[in-house]
Amino acid sequence: MTESDLARIATATGRAAPAAGAVRIGSDEVRLLRDGDEAYPAMLAAIAAAQREVLMEFYWFGSDAVGRQFCDALAERARAGVTVRLVFDAFGSRPIDPDMFQALRASGADARAYHPLFGLADAQRRWAFRDHRKMLVCDGEVGFTGGLNIGREWASRTQGGEGWRDDMVEVRGPAASELRTLFHGTWRRLLPRRDRSDPSLVPQNTEVPPAPTRPVWVMANGHGWRQRRAIRATYLRWIQQARASIDIVNAYFVPDFRTRRALVQAARRGVAVRVLVPANSDLPVVQWAVEALLERLVKKGVRAFAFAGSVLHSKTAVVDEARVTIGSYNLDHRSFRYNLEVNLAIESRRFGQMVKASFERDLSASVEWTLDTLRRRGFVRRVLGEIALLFARFL
């Protein structure tokens, strides 16, 4: 792909179609954003309107035209006197163009890598624990989180990108402030120890509420062991309480035994359980494990579908058309045990029906994987799936 093609991605992305309308839920306002076509323009507009602060935390911040467009937007705000802070994961953002981030820092922005890959201190932890979050917060008032990273993979094919299918949610209100608090919990750890208690560099409160107090709230897997269970606990509770339907979209669907059992039990009590996964993943080994696991679940009443379009990267679920979670959390061992993750939880029938409609739209571009379909996927692929599933905790 030529430089002119990449430039066209960035330019066209900024001109993409507007997103659907927002929904008022309690003291928050939320908006579902499908794909880069809707998410990127909304995010760039929020950055451009920021007057005090722009905070970004992304696993994958590409050194391509889309990444450069966001860097340019951040640099413009930094030169205008706005506090700009960026955290990118050193592994997820590889290969990193140091010149791009150096130019951003030269504008006055502060960009830091989470767990650089090379260093003498705690090398094992550096490699194992990653910052898989994807979020943007502007002025503590508007926030974004979901599955999208910053890169040409999420730009549409008509714009020269790869058109990965993904979801993002925009929130205005107290939940945006919670995202800001969550960001500073990571930011504090990246500062030298002598600066961590400086209130001018980081707020002293860096913990989101452990239990929901509103119908829209932030769930996060953090650094502490107790924090690692928050998102999974909500998934389990909602699945166990489901009465009519459970619709899950997940790019790397390899849940633990308790979650699998909860899904099977839901199906047995008459809940319509549907799982949508990629037909072709960007991680083939994980795909083999997903297929092997789905063969077991379909046998017990769960329905499985494969998205036949571009790469499906979304991490979205809607339960009983009234409970929604959208974020970075994959239903796999790595998200549960190792990664920093963030999801937004939303209890609203109106918003749930919007997400359900988006799910049905994706199903129209999918094929159902029946038990017969899964059994006919070939002897070698089935064996590879069983082997991959044995090592699921390392995927």
Mean pLDDT rounded to a whole number for the chain: 91
Q: Say yes or no: domain 222-394 is CATH 3.40.50.720.
A: no
Angstrom distance (rounded) from CA 143 to CA 30:
10
pLDDT at 346 over 90: yes
Domain boundaries, the chain: 3-195, 222-394
Residue 350: CA atoms inside 13 Å, Cβ hemisphere, count? 10
The residues, any chain, with a CB within 8 Å of residue 127's CB and separated by 6 or more, are 91, 115, 117
Both tokens of 152, joined, read 């040409």
pLDDT at 119 over 80: no
The residues, any chain, with a CB within 8 Å of residue 386's CB and separated by 6 or more, are 292
Mean pLDDT, residues 56-70 taken together:
96
Angstrom distance (rounded) from CA 274 to CA 304:
6
Is 0.85 topped by the overall pTM? yes
**% of the chain beyond a pLDDT of 70:** 91
- Of the CATH numbers 3.30.70.890, 3.30.70.2700, 2.60.210.10, 3.30.870.10, which one belongs to the domain with range 3-195? 3.30.870.10
H-only helix segments in 331-378: 333-337, 349-363, 371-375
Segment 192-214, tens digit of pLDDT: 988 888 887 888 777 787 778 89
pLDDT at 53 over 50: yes
Segment 269-311, tens digit of pLDDT: 999 999 999 998 999 999 999 999 999 999 999 999 999 989 9
146 conformational bin, left if phi > 0, alpha if psi -120 to 50, beta if neither: left
Mean pLDDT, residues 30-36 taken together:
97
Q: Which amino acid is at 213?
A: T
